[in-house]
Chain A
Amino acid sequence: MEHKIRVLVAKPGLDGHDRGAKVIARALRDAGMEVIYTGLQQTPAMIIEAALQEDVDVIGLSILSGAHMTLLPKVSQLLREQAMDDVLVVVGGIISDADATILKRDHGVAAVYGPGASMQEIVSFIREHAGSGRVS
């Protein structure tokens, strides 16, 4: 059986709603991927633990709280500590271009998507890069 792309979709931080995360989870499922959905208010440590146990190729995070500059460096640091650098990290949320540049350059984030991003774009990016970690 061919390897299915496995994606952990999580919603770190303290803001309440996970509509965006659910929409992306469904889009990825409809694209034939296996989505492990972990729900709200995940800490970076919880996300990494789940990603390790589930052996995912991709971590997709939805962050609307504005805490991306504290959460994402922590996520990438923990991934390195666990020798999981081959896991692709993709982020959706309201993130300025300046922050996105720093996250991609210094913190192992492969792609940042704003509220207007098309699902098709995200799906193709993940298909192409799953399991390859940082995209150069």
Chain B
Amino acid sequence: MNNLDSATLAAQLLGGHRHALARAITLAETGGAEARALLGAVYPHTGGALVVGVTGAPGAGKSTFVNALAQHWRAAGRTIAILAVDPSSPFSGGAILGDRIRMQPLGGDPGVFVRSMASRGRLGGIAHATDDAVALMDAAGFDVVVIETVGAGQSEVEIAATAPTTVVIETPGTGDDVQSIKAGILEIADVFVVNKADREGADSVIRNLQTMLRLAERSVSSWMPPVLPAVALRGEGIAAIAATIDQHYAYMLQGERLRVHAQARVERALALSVQELAVTRARAHGGGATWRQLVERVIARQIDPYSAADVLLDAP
């Protein structure tokens, strides 16, 4: 399957061909005109999957938890695609993606598809590539798409923007005082999981989170994120968490909530796409000469970068 055009790839992917889905994600990651054509062809077939984000500190047990959750859903007859995102090395641009190690029990099941993705040094962080991969998995017909990302800086905010339901994993022993709970986490979590509840201190992490959630401002009718214990390694607590995820999705389906979430996601995606296209076209204008000349003129301080950008965007 070396030289597949995007139309063939899209048709195979929509037919549930696993290899086509794998190739399609690679194409979307690489980008370019074929990738855009592919996304265009499958986009009308998206929107059927429940999309769940899972984030938390390194080593919190995210992959172990996702594995247990997927096993639970498989037993209930749902199919699952998992997108596991890990950071790229800022020095080499390479990455070691190790999340599959914890997901080996899912092997051999055609109802499960696991894909590892490196964050790379992308414009707008991982959001763009993640959105595309989720759309492809959704179009391939999976009932649930789970995104795992390490909670570090911007990525957890991005995952919350992509997924209507975000699960944040905390653990005991990372300092269980209120200050250790990262700022911003209360705003993005729809469900809190305190994993490694077999360890000492889980109860106090749960209590502290509940206190903070009560103190946080929210409207009377809005969702109060539940705080649930889990021992992901042994599958304990998973059924209750899965039920809560479904409840949150049912909540999102009421009124305009899902549409409001979608609007924020789409506006961000659109802004990124416009940026990307604008830069690509500006660089290509006049066979690249316009860009190079403007760079020279900015260096010589004949023109400032903002005016140079205006020239490029207005160029016919």
Asked if A and B bind, the verdict is yes
| Bound Cα distance from A52 to B18, whole angstroms | 8
A50 contacts B100, C-beta separation under 8 Å:
yes
A interface: dominant SS: mixed
B58 to chain A, nearest CB (A): 15
| Bound Cα distance from A37 to B84, whole angstroms | 12
- What residues of chain B lie closer than 8 Å to A30, measured between beta carbons? 89, 91-92, 94
Residue of B nearest to A28 (CB): B94
| Bound Cα distance from A70 to B97, whole angstroms | 28
B30 contacts A39, C-beta separation under 8 Å:
no
Q: For the complex, is B45 an interface residue (Cβ under 8 Å from A)?
A: no
Q: For the complex, is A112 an interface residue (Cβ under 8 Å from B)?
A: no
B96 contacts A35, C-beta separation under 8 Å:
yes
| Bound Cα distance from A101 to B248, whole angstroms | 59
- What residues of chain B lie closer than 8 Å to A28, measured between beta carbons? 94
Q: For the complex, is B113 an interface residue (Cβ under 8 Å from A)?
A: yes
A39's contact among B25, B93, B101, B108, by CB below 8 Å, is which?
B101
B132 to chain A, nearest CB (A): 12
| Bound Cα distance from A28 to B118, whole angstroms | 14
A29's contact among B23, B26, B95, by CB below 8 Å, is which?
B95
B89 contacts A37, C-beta separation under 8 Å:
no
B108's contact among A1, A35, A46, A84, by CB below 8 Å, is which?
A46
Q: For the complex, is A99 an interface residue (Cβ under 8 Å from B)?
A: no
B30's contact among A2, A33, A52, A83, by CB below 8 Å, is which?
A2
A54's contact among B2, B88, B94, B116, by CB below 8 Å, is which?
B116
For chain A, residues 52 to 88, give those with C-beta under 8 angstroms from any C-beta of chain B: 52-55, 82-84, 86
B205 to chain A, nearest CB (A): 29
| Bound Cα distance from A29 to B87, whole angstroms | 12
B interface: dominant SS: mixed
- What residues of chain A lie closer than 8 Å to B93, measured between beta carbons? 4, 32
| Bound Cα distance from A83 to B104, whole angstroms | 23
Given known A-B contacts A38-B100, A53-B18, A55-B25, A29 and B114 have beta carbons under 8 A apart: no
A48 to chain B, nearest CB (A): 11
B113 to chain A, nearest CB (A): 6
Given known A-B contacts A29-B94, A32-B94, A55-B25, A4 and B107 have beta carbons under 8 A apart: no
B3 to chain A, nearest CB (A): 11
Given known A-B contacts A3-B30, A29-B89, A53-B115, A35 and B94 have beta carbons under 8 A apart: yes
A35 contacts B97, C-beta separation under 8 Å:
yes
B108 contacts A49, C-beta separation under 8 Å:
yes
B30 contacts A54, C-beta separation under 8 Å:
no
Residue of B nearest to A57 (CB): B26
| Bound Cα distance from A83 to B100, whole angstroms | 23
B135 to chain A, nearest CB (A): 17
A24 to chain B, nearest CB (A): 11
Residue of A nearest to B114 (CB): A53
B18 contacts A34, C-beta separation under 8 Å:
no
- What residues of chain B lie closer than 8 Å to A53, measured between beta carbons? 18, 22, 113-115
A31's contact among B92, B97, B104, by CB below 8 Å, is which?
B92
| Bound Cα distance from A39 to B2, whole angstroms | 28
Q: For the complex, is A122 an interface residue (Cβ under 8 Å from B)?
A: no
- What residues of chain A lie closer than 8 Å to B97, measured between beta carbons? 34-37
| Bound Cα distance from A84 to B92, whole angstroms | 28
| Bound Cα distance from A94 to B26, whole angstroms | 34
For chain A, residues 13 to 39, give those with C-beta under 8 angstroms from any C-beta of chain B: 25-26, 28-39
Given known A-B contacts A3-B30, A55-B22, A25 and B120 have beta carbons under 8 A apart: no
8 A-B pairs closest in CB distance: A29-B94, A39-B101, A55-B22, A32-B94, A55-B26, A37-B98, A32-B93, A32-B92
Query: Can you sample 28 A-B contacts with CB below 8 Å?
Result: A1-B31, A3-B30, A25-B96, A28-B94, A29-B89, A30-B92, A31-B94, A32-B94, A34-B88, A34-B95, A35-B94, A36-B97, A36-B100, A37-B100, A37-B101, A39-B101, A49-B107, A50-B100, A52-B18, A52-B22, A53-B114, A54-B115, A55-B22, A55-B23, A55-B25, A55-B26, A83-B1, A86-B2
